[in-house]
Amino acid sequence: MTIRLTNSKSRTKEAFAPIDPQNVRMYVCGPTVYDRAHLGNARPAIVFDVLFRLLRHVYGEAQVTYVRNFTDVDDKINATAQARKAAGDARSLEALIAERTEETIGWYLADMGAVGVMEPTHMPRATQYIDQMIAMIEGLIAGGHAYAAEGHALFAVDSYAKYGALSGRSVDDMIAGARVEIAPYKKNPMDFVLWKPSSDDLPGWDSPWGRGRPGWHIECSAMSYELLGETFDIHGGGNDLMFPHHENEIAQSCCAHGHSGDGAGFANVWLHNEMLQVEGKKMSKSLGNFFTVRDLLDGHDGEAGVPGEVIRFVMLSTHYRKPMDWTAEKARDAEATLRKWRSMVEGVEAGVAPEAVVAALSDDLNTAGAIAELHKLAGAGDAASLKAGAALLGLLGADLGDWAAVSVDLRAYADALAALRAAAMESKDFSGVDTMKTALVEAGLEVRMSKAGVELVPGPGFDAGKLAGLL
């Protein structure tokens, strides 16, 4: 089946044709590890996890390489370590930074695992590729695309004719509208940092330009080159990264590999997911609607925790190219749907991935359309296909199922209600049936009565404690 993806570079939906079908390669910009991942950070992780699953389904698991990096050298990381030192921690700043990045990477992997994100093939850390970054910068300077000034190395934007092609901005527009650092050592206000000096109390590495550390953009260019090669298939990330991060990656990578004139090379397809809102508003601390993934999983501000599978379902219910609005109502509806589906597929062997689900995902990763197909399968009672199709979306797997486990045996309650109903059919007095049904609903159960019997399905907020005394 042909996969079609909307390429930000061409602004059109294109048939995806990998450079080598035996070696499909994708790079996605990962987190800067200075704090917990917020809910917006989870969106690209989930979106590109689904694409990873689809590519593995179409081309084979061993034929797909997915790289998602960790930025573990950054001013924000330094600031968190300096704050700990100021609070009285006697350890060296280097030790504090190492501790902070390790714990934050651990948090990130645990939180993303909780929402069903598989670990990529490679998860490089920027600090592991400093030598490669220095070598790439030296090549850019030798080629006339960068220059050294006052302990800095800067990319010369004027040397790359295609600069701005991804975001569709001219350099003049970018200078007028961007917050560019006006520095005396820059030849052009838009020139960006490849290497910058480090003071003695900050992390740094020896380089031809003095002791310092890399700029953010060169990190991804060097890591993608080392792990995926000069040219690879897909580069992804949030649309907030399109400019300047991705624009700068393209410029320095193309120039480093001899494509300064034609702009060819580097990534063939660029994918960008839209941003996330909460209850219709931009997520921000000032509005009180900012929370981390862990806040949502564990519960916050007196609210109950939301299962990771429910978070994932809500995220995937909106197409990746549309703004995603997180609401409590969507979470409740998602939980109800997943409980029903899990009750259907319990003990069922997954069948073959349904063609309609694969087709929806192959049409520009239409996860909302794929979920609509899963609803059809559930309505038709095709549990084996439902389970197989959901697996492509990372849903209904055993790894995310603990939240839906019911701690009490509901069959006894279903049998008791069935017996009351049978007696009521004889006596024509249904008051006992109504009383028990009301109690079951108040406990958070959906009561389904048919000629075949009684079925009880846990819904959102199911509380087994409210069943006490009903038998």
**pLDDT single digits (tens) 221-243:** 999 999 999 999 999 999 999 99
Which residues lie closer than 8 Å to 460 by C-beta, 6 or more apart?
Answer: 331, 332, 335, 336, 339, 444
pLDDT digits (tens, 9 = 90+) for 288-338: 788 899 999 998 877 889 999 999 999 999 999 999 999 999 999 999 899
Predicted pLDDT of residue 262: 66
Compute the average pLDDT of residues 39-64.
Answer: 97
29 is in an annotated binding site: yes
Which residues lie closer than 8 Å to 327 by C-beta, 6 or more apart?
Answer: 278, 279, 280
Predicted pLDDT of residue 179: 57
Q: From residue 64, how far is each of 203, 328, 360, 466 by CA, in Å?
A: 35, 36, 20, 49
Predicted pLDDT of residue 181: 64
Q: Rounded distance, CA 161 to CA 158, Å? A: 7
Predicted pLDDT of residue 176: 61
Two tokens, residue 87: 């609070």
In degrees, rounded to 5, the angle at the alpha carbon of residue 166 between the alpha carbons of residues 160 and 171 is: 50
Q: Taking a C-beta distance cutoff of 8 angstroms, is the pair 332, 338 a contact?
A: no
Helical packing angle, 75-86 and 93-114, nearest 10°: 120
What is the pTM (predicted TM-score) of this model?
0.89
Two tokens, residue 116: 């069903």
User: If pLDDT is split at 50, 70 and 90, which confidence band does 261 have?
Assistant: low
220 is in an annotated binding site: yes
Predicted pLDDT of residue 263: 63
* Residue 451: Cβ within 10 Å count: 4
Ranges of each domain in the chain: 16-273, 276-404, 410-467
Q: Is the pLDDT of residue 27 over 80?
A: yes
Domain 16-273: give its CATH superfamily.
HUPs (3.40.50.620)
Q: Taking a C-beta distance cutoff of 8 angstroms, is the pair 134, 208 a contact?
A: yes
Q: Rounded distance, CA 36 to CA 100, Å? A: 11
Q: Rounded distance, CA 357 to CA 353, Å? A: 7
249 is in an annotated binding site: yes
Burial class (CB in 10 A: 0-12, 13-18, 19+), 401: middle
Mean pLDDT lowest for which of 161-165, 240-244, 366-370, 465-469?
465-469
Q: Rounded distance, CA 107 to CA 376, Å? A: 37
Q: Is the pLDDT of residue 104 over 80?
A: yes
Predicted pLDDT of residue 177: 55
* Residue 105: Cβ within 10 Å count: 17
**What value does the mean pLDDT of the chain take?**
92
Q: Is the pLDDT of residue 438 over 80?
A: yes
186 is in an annotated binding site: no
Q: Taking a C-beta distance cutoff of 8 angstroms, is the pair 292, 38 a contact?
A: yes
Amino acid type, 341? W
Q: Taking a C-beta distance cutoff of 8 angstroms, is the pair 208, 130 a contact?
A: no
Two tokens, residue 78: 């330094």
